[in-house]
Amino acid sequence: MKKRLLTLALALCLCLTLLPTGAVAAPVSYVALGDSIAAGYGLVGYAGDYSNPSGCFPALIAQAQGYSLNNLAISGDDTSDLLEKMQTSRYQNALKNADVISVTIGSNDLLVTTVNLLMEHLGVSHEDLAGLGQAGVMDDVSQVTGILQDIGSYLASGEVKSVLDAAVAGFYTNWDTIMSTLQGWNPDARVVVTNYYNPYKLFDINFGALSMNVGSLGQGYLDQMNAYITASPYNGSYYTIADVTAVTTNVKLDLSAIMSAMMTGQTPDLSGALNVDPHPDAAGHAYIAEKLLAVLNPVSFSDVADADWYAPAVYYAANNGLVVGYEDETFRPDSNMTIAAYMTVLYRYARAAAGTGIPEKQTTGTNWAEAANWVNSFLLDGKYPNLDANMTRYQMAEITAKVLQTVSTLTGKTLNTRSTHGFTDVPAGSSHYAAVAYLESVYGIDGNPTGDGSYTFLGDNSIRRSEVAQVVYNIMTKSAG
């Protein structure tokens, strides 16, 4: 009897070894590195280090993909802190065995340095900050204005510039060390990094004679950091960037309400008048997760080969959620695009770039034309009565120019420009000249070379979907890049 049981057990073991590996495969291991953004600071369920609230973007990604998540992000960490933690066995074991790694680190290299400089300049400590909402601390309008003007001048000073320049230089060094270390440990991992959004880009202070955009004070440094990780040799060869620069936060400052309370001897309600929290809310985390998922699940079209001239533009626009294909998994690059479809593409770009400055409209489903109708009505004064018509190149230029100018106005950011060669078939003074010339100047179009050094635009021709993708690609990577 005993012998028969041993034989049966052996047979079962042999059967188990013959099972398909997928039947017992371990879930994909996902490690999230980063700071308070990846840690989910401020979300429901956040309880400090390693608490991993369900609404943070790493948790949303893990849920969507079926990954096994190890969220190692720590609030307050900068790149130096991450390098130090990477020397521990906990981090090394996780990273060496990870299938997917996301990296959201570097914001504190700049933010913490700036905050510390300001506190030293103002002569306040972290403990002092708790008393700033008390009545009587600043009970004069000119005092408040003076302090804010002093802060703006100080942040623009040479003293601050030298310190922040050094902080960004340190970030560059640490970034390279982090990536070289990760690649040495785990060269086959799928690595996605997030770039840097400006949490204060929509934070305007208008009080008396004072007018200041807080975000503009640090935008240049964020641009440098984004440019560095984009130009890095590890970009493309080891990691892929998820573009989250369009993330918006809920920062605000209602000085009128604060001063009104102070001047009447009351304690101002800062919860309703002041919010300087740079972290994304639940909607912001969902947006970041969407951007990372687009990188992790790249789009593929059966009729767009890698060798096609338009392939980089088509896949860039598709993976950034600006253009979509058809249910049969084709893109149909040689098909014409309707006015409504193109307005929808540009609406997606404008909404991502300007955030809440552009109202939310449907771009998919049965009401997909809602966004196009809004663009036509509110940006173009209803100029195009037939949105189902195929779009000409002239119409594309006019619509694009208007949307780009609107986004630039809403965000306060000037697009990159260049000198232009012009087009022989779009003479100066013609009705289409301004829009075409503007779009060429911001890298949107190049035109068709004639062979003698001149270019044509062929404005009355219908524009193909592949050409639209190229225009969008130019806008994203050159105009606003």
Tally Cβ neighbours within 10 Å of residue 300: 11
Q: Is the pLDDT of residue 163 over 80?
A: yes
Helices of type H across 264-338: 270-273, 282-296, 311-319
Distance, CA of 95 to CA of 103 (rounded, Å): 11
Give the pLDDT confidence of 68-105 residue by residue, as tens digits: 999 999 999 999 999 999 999 999 999 999 999 999 99
Q: 3-state class of 447 per DSSP?
A: coil
Task: Check residue 257 and give its pLDDT.
Answer: 59
Task: Check residue 187 and give its pLDDT.
Answer: 96
Q: Is the pLDDT of residue 341 over 80?
A: yes
Q: Is the pLDDT of residue 136 over 70?
A: no
Summarize the confidence of residues 456-478 as an average pLDDT: 94
Cβ proximity of 38 and 73 under 8 Å: yes
| CA-based R_g, the chain, Å | 27
Q: 3-state class of 367 per DSSP?
A: helix
Distance, CA of 183 to CA of 32 (rounded, Å): 15
Cβ proximity of 409 and 415 under 8 Å: no
Cβ proximity of 139 and 272 under 8 Å: no
Summarize the confidence of residues 181-195 as an average pLDDT: 96
Task: Check residue 12 and give its pLDDT.
Answer: 34
Residue found by looking up tokens 């973007």 in the block: 57
What DSSP string runs through 153-188? Answer: HHHTSHHHHHHHHHHHHHHHHHHHHHHHHHHHH-TT
Q: Is the pLDDT of residue 47 over 70?
A: yes
Q: How confident is the model at residue 463 (pLDDT cuts 50, 70, 90)?
A: very high
Which residue has better confidence, 132 or 186?
Answer: 186
DSSP 261: H
Task: Check residue 212 and give its pLDDT.
Answer: 59
Summarize the confidence of residues 136-147 as an average pLDDT: 52
Q: How confident is the model at residue 24 (pLDDT cuts 50, 70, 90)?
A: very low
Task: Check residue 144 and give its pLDDT.
Answer: 56
Q: Is the pLDDT of residue 479 over 80?
A: no
HSE (side-chain half, CA atoms, 13 Å) at 223 = 10
Task: Check residue 352 and give its pLDDT.
Answer: 83
Least confidently predicted of 35-44, 198-207, 368-377:
198-207
Which residue has better confidence, 41 or 271?
Answer: 41
Q: Is the pLDDT of residue 129 over 60?
A: no
Stretch (H or E) spanning 93: helix 89-96
Backbone angle region of 304, left / alpha / beta, with phi > 0 → left and psi within -120 to 50 → alpha: beta
Least confidently predicted of 58-67, 202-211, 332-341:
202-211
Task: Check residue 5 and give its pLDDT.
Answer: 37
Residue found by looking up tokens 């479809």 in the block: 341
Task: Check residue 254 and give its pLDDT.
Answer: 56
Task: Check residue 220 and give its pLDDT.
Answer: 81
Closest alpha carbon to 250 in 133, 355, 98, 180? 355
Q: How confident is the model at residue 125 (pLDDT cuts 50, 70, 90)?
A: low
